[in-house]
Structure 1
Amino acid sequence: MRRPAQEHGRVAQDVNAARRREIKKTAKSNPAEHGLPFWVWSLVELDGSLISDKADVA
C-alpha cells in the first residue's frame, strides 16, 4: 500500500527550519533578482528554481 504522498509520484521529504526559511525568502523575492525573465512566481517556476538551487548547493 502506498502512502498518500507517494500517490502522485513524489516522496515526502522532511524540510528543516533552514530550508523552510530559504523557501520563504525565495518565494517572497522577485524572480528577476534571480536572473529569471519573469516578474511573478508560478508554483511550477518556484519549484523549478528551488530544485535547481538545492542541486547547486549539494
Structure 2
Amino acid sequence: MNFSNQLSLEQEFELILYKQKIKPLNLEQSRNLLSEILKTMLLKDSIIKYVIRNSHFRQ
C-alpha cells in the first residue's frame, strides 16, 4: 500500500469547513469542539480496527 501525507480533495474541503466553523468560536467552545472531534476520530479508529480484525480478507 502506498500511503501519502497529502489529503484528498474531500478531506481538504472538510478541513476548510472545520476552519470556518472554528473561527467564530471562543476558547471554551473551541476546546469542546476539539474534544468532540478527537472522540469521533478515536471511535473511527476503533471501528476500523474492529473491521480489520474481523475481516475475512486479511491474510
TM above 0.5, yes or no, is no
Which TM-score bucket, shorter chain as reference? 0.3 to 0.5
Q: TM-score, normalised by structure 2?
A: 0.36
Q: TM-score, normalised by structure 1?
A: 0.36
Structure 1 or 2: more helix by fraction: 2
